Structures are given as C-alpha cells and as structure tokens.
Chains A and B, each alone.
Chain A
Amino acid sequence: MTMELLAQGSEGGGAAISEIIILTAAGAVVAAVLVWIGWMHRQHKINWLASLADWSGRRFKRPSWVALPIALFIASIICALFGFIWDVSLHIGNGRDNGALANPAHYFILIGLFGIFVAGATAVVLPRGEEERPGPAAVRITDDWYAPVGGIVMAGCGFYALLGFPLDDMWHRIFGQDVTLWGPTHLMMIGGAGFSTLSALYLEHEGRKTRTDDSPPDGIGLKFVQYLAFAGVLVGASVYQIEFDFGVPQFRQVFQPMLIAAAAGLALVGARIFMGRGAALIAAVIGIGLRGIVAFLVAPVLDAPVNWFALYLGPALIVEIVALTPLYKRPILFGAVSGLGIGTLGLWLESLWINAVYDYPWPTSIWPEGLAMAVPVAIMTGACGGLLGMVLTGQRLPRRAIGAGIVALTVLVIGGAAANGLRYDVPQNETVTATLTEAPPVNGQRQVTADFRFNPPNAISEDPNWVSILGWQGKLENQRGQFIDHLEKVGPGHYVSTKPMPVAGEWKTLLRIHDGRTLAAVPVYLAGDAGIGAKEVPAEAQFQRPIVAEITILQRERSPDIPQSLWLIGCLVVLACTLAMIAGVSWGGGRINNSEPSGSETKLEPSAQA
C-alpha cells in the first residue's frame, strides 16, 4: 500500500533513480553495520564497543550503558537542533527546496534524529550479562539481556521522529504542498526529538541507581550534563514556538504565551525538584546558551533569517520563589502552583523580552485569551514537571491512576487550548485599497512604499495584534529573504508603510492582519511559481483586493479532489503515533518509579527540602 502510493507520486517527488539507488544502498549498509556490531558485541566476539563504553563510563562516573549513549545523544540532539533551526530559516528565506538532497540542513536533521535512535539502541544493546544488568527497572530481552527503560524510550522517541520522514513524504504526495511548521508530520519530527530529552534523564537516573558505596562521587562535569539535560527539555519543548521566533507565525498569537508557559512548567519544575536550589534558573541560562549559539550560527554566520527565543528567566524565577515555600514538599502541588505563577507573572516577565526583541510584540489585547489558554496548560504541565521530578528523585508517585490521569488531563487541556487557538475569523466582504509609491531599488529589485485603506474603515480594532507587511522567500542574497514592517496607523482604517518593501523577484509580499480572532491577509506581490502552477500577483500602482483567510488560500494548494475523510485519517494516524509516544514516555517514568524501594520517599525528604 505504502509503496503503491509512493510509486504513483514519484513523478512529483523529484528524486532521481541514481539518488534512490545510492540512498537505498546506504540504508542497507548502515543497517548491516549496526546489526553486525550489535550481534558481535552481544556474542562477546568484539570488545572495542565495551571498552569504549567503559572508558566513557569512567569519565562520566556512570555505568557504560549510560555514559556512551548519553554522549552520543547529546551530540545527536544538538546536531538535530542546529539542522532544524537552519532548515526553517532556509525555507523562510529561500522557499521550496530543489530536491531532497539539495538542502544541507536536512542532513543535520536526519543524522541527528537517527543519532537519537542509535543512542537509545546502544543503551539497549550494551549491557551484557547479569553483572551489567541496568538497574531494577530494566526490561528483559532475554534471560541474560536486560535493557534500560531510558534506552528503550530514547530509541522509541528517535523512531517516532524518524517515522515523520516517510509520513511527511506521503502527506505531501496526498495533500499537496506543505504549508507550515505545524504540519502534523513536522510535529512528529520535532516532537520526537523534543521529548527524547526526557529519556536521557531517565537513563541517567537508572545509571545513578546502580551506584554502590565505592562509586566515585559525581563530578562537576556530570552536574553540568544534568543541568544541560533540563536545558534540553526546555529547548526541546520550545520547538513548537519556532514560527513565532522567526517572525513568521501562521497561527493566532495567543499560542505563543501558552507554548512558553507549557515548556517552562514541565522543564523548570522538573529541574528545580531534581537539581535543587537555583536549578530552574541555571537550566534557563544554559537553554539561552544553546539557542543563542544556534541562532548566532544561523543568522550572522550563515546569513539566513534571524530567530529569537524565549529566555524563560521570568518563569524560572517564579519556580525558584515558589520552591522556597512549604509547597515544595508536595511535588505535584508545587508544580501546579508554579505553573499558575508561570502562566501569569512569569509570562508578564517574559513579555518584557518578547516586546523588546521579537518581530511581533504582544499587544495588551492578547492577555485575556492568552491567560485563559496559558494558565490551565501551565498548571497541568507544571504538575507533569512535578511527576518528572518525583521519578528522578526516586520519590514514589501517587497511584498509577492518578499519575496517568494527570498526564491524560494535560493532553486534554493542551488539546482544548490548541483547539481554541486554531479557531479564527475572516472578515466577510471587506477589502483593502492600496496605493504604491516607487522607492529606490535594492539589488536591482523594485521596492515600494504603500498606503492602505481598509473598507470599511472600522475593520481594524484599536489594539490589533498586527497590521504588518511580511515579505519572504525572497532568497537569502536579498535582505536574507525576509522583510517585516509594522504599518503606521494614520487615520481610521488608514495605514502606511514605514519603509520600502520588496515587490520583485521571488518575493512573496503580503499585508497581514491579526486582530483578536481575526487572522487574514491581502497579497501585495506574489512571485509566479510554475512548480505549483501559480501565476504572479503583480504589485500594481493601485489595486483593491479582498481580505482573505491565509489558510483558505493555503488549502488551495492541496489537491482539490482529496476527500475530507482521507485528511481525517491522516491526522488520526499522526495523533495515534503521538499519543503512543506520550504513553511510552509516561510508561518509562512509571516503570522506573515502580522499581524504587518502598519508603524511599522518607529517605529523600531531607534533600527535597534543600
């Protein structure tokens, strides 16, 4: 079935036969090498893998089946993060790729996601014999082969992310061109990588549990890796915000505070419980370092469109303050209350940064709905952060039904908030009249300033989210292929540009309107695109065009004869895969926690108060 669909669509795919042969051969060779190494290792016929793992184990002061996989994991996930951010920026600046292998960022993503799987598989394959049994929670493969839970969850997350590639391909072939980062299959790729950071924490915890009295004390390097892991969870949970970070949000702005609060709740609460005082702030600072390095590489070094990122310092401060209260002794409640603080005060503190540097600052009007979405989500993800902290500190979780119930409720609350966020209105029978004035060309490309009049003039409220010009996909050599200008209001329904916009070459330049529930656009100049059979929309000196929904235009790109039911099935497949991944991550936490010796909560009480 799969192959049939692919074969039918292959003419549009653009992969040459020679490319396919090379890639298939590469797949076969990689599979053979991996299986051979694993087999020879388990048969005790090679020892270099065990020696390498033992060496990294001594350096890391953790068992070999923790140290080597985590080293591999860190390298892989940073590789994937860099590739992902670079890829998004290339697509914003350049538009569509010229073939699958033409985009260098894809290699980083693919190798990074594969590395996550290989890291997990390494943790599964490494432990040989009873003496290397990876802790009490380990899953039996054979009588003398036990696999650490963290390794299984890590491999599962990596597999889920990799599964996004073929599903994405089928998605494109069935439904036509992709439209956004938030395509369901894209969410699989970035979500799998994001959640895999939790599995690294699980694995490290399992390794810690096997320590004996004569194990060397944890060094400063190990401490840093633990902080880094929580920064990883934070950055991993932030991947859904990337469209906002690049100033090309395609969904309503109320999503942004909700997504920031959700990520902060899980990662910072977990960090504070596991690592103690100051950990939430340290995780936020390391996260800034990670995103900062990647952003620096992508924008100034590689000259691609610029991206910003949430700092999370405000939310981290809230978590640190709440942790000073007696609530800290009750992790789930502590997480929920921290979530409440993150979703309110924390977001306000974060808004100072957002409003200072982001292309689209938060208007005052965003807060009522923004809070209504962010607060419940942050309370629930904070509670999940509490569960995570309990697993990692060996405190016994509440009954299984309660733990699973909290995770399920979190999924439902996020789903409900997202469903609300996805709702939008499009003005009916409203138009925009534009008058363009020529400006000096840049790089030989025509530039204009514009005067826009909305009909009727009261079409826009007093405090809209944005009335702005977006130009993009204009190619990196032209102003990095991205242009944003917030229009200046000069009268009722009357807006003018503050700087010349590009209306030539490959640019797609449009007037975007986001006003509460309204999300709409008017094209100013759209380059013709023979690849998708789209004609040029010229930037005439004067024009009157209707205000239309961005998304309805997007859907015209889809093949029109695709029944709605097929789209539903596609979404359900992706949803099922995603719920399976969340269930897998939750299962891992529960299984590790189940094997904790009873009474350990009293033993850990003093450190919980630290």
Chain B
Amino acid sequence: MTVAPNVEILADHSFWLAVPALAPALVVAGIVVYIAVKNRRKSDEGTGTNTEGEL
C-alpha cells in the first residue's frame, strides 16, 4: 500500500499565476517605502524638526 488515501490537494497555485499580482504589489510597496526612507534621511540631514508622524 503505497498510496495516500486522504490527500487533499487544495491548492496548486503556481508562482507564475501570482506574478501579475505579486510583482505590482512588490513594486508599489517598494516605491512607497523608498520615498519614505529617502524623505526621512533628507529630514535627518536637514533641520530634523519635522518628526511628527514618524513611525
């Protein structure tokens, strides 16, 4: 008896199927984080007064 009697293959999601969703999500999240980090560096180098709303 070498078979599985109770195999529920509930998902066979391919990496490729997710590309049209995951890649844009990565790009958008990456750009927003990049802009935020860049802005914070800039304000740190500057006067550093505007810290309201920091994480």
Contact = CB atoms under 8 A, between A and B. Distances in A.
Interface of A: 6, 13-15, 19-20, 23-24, 26-28, 30-31, 34-35, 38, 87-88, 91-92, 95-97, 99-101, 103, 106, 110-111, 113-114, 117, 121, 124-125, 138-143, 145-147, 155, 158-159, 162-166, 168-170, 172, 177-181, 183, 186, 189, 243, 248, 250, 470, 472, 508, 510, 512, 521-523, 526, 528-529, 532, 534-537, 545, 548, 550, 553-554, 556-557
A147 B7 CA distance: 45
B48 to A, nearest CB: 12
Closest 9 CB pairs of A and B: A165-B18, A100-B14, A140-B53, A534-B3, A114-B21, A31-B24, A27-B23, A169-B15, A523-B5
B5 A553 contact: yes
Given A27-B19, A117-B25, A159-B25, A534 B9 contact: no
17 contacts: A100-B12, A100-B16, A140-B36, A142-B35, A142-B39, A145-B35, A155-B29, A162-B18, A162-B25, A169-B14, A250-B8, A521-B6, A522-B5, A529-B3, A532-B4, A537-B3, A553-B6
A6 B14 CA distance: 10
Contacts of B13: 100, 106, 164-165, 168-169
Nearest to B54: A140
Contacts of A250: 6, 8
Contacts of B39: 140-143
Nearest to A591: B55
Nearest to A549: B6
Contacts of B31: 35, 38
Given A35-B31, A121-B28, A140 B17 contact: no
Contacts of A31: 23-24, 27-28
Contacts of B9: 91, 95-97, 177-179
A19 B35 CA distance: 34
Nearest to A110: B21
B20 A179 contact: no
A154 to B, nearest CB: 12
Given A113-B21, A172-B12, A508 B5 contact: yes
- For B3, B10, B54, which residue has the most chain A Cβ atoms within 10 angstroms? B10
A169 B53 CA distance: 38
A259 B47 CA distance: 52
Contact of A163 (B11, B19, B22, B54): B22
A151 B34 CA distance: 17
A178 B11 contact: yes
A24 B19 contact: yes
Contact of A96 (B2, B3, B12, B23): B12
A557 B54 contact: no
Nearest to B39: A142
A34 B8 contact: no
B7 A26 contact: no
B3 A535 contact: yes
Given A23-B20, A110-B21, A138-B53, A165 B5 contact: no
A143 B35 CA distance: 11
Nearest to B29: A159
Nearest to B50: A143
Given A553-B4, A554-B6, A557-B7, A34 B18 contact: no
B25 A146 contact: no
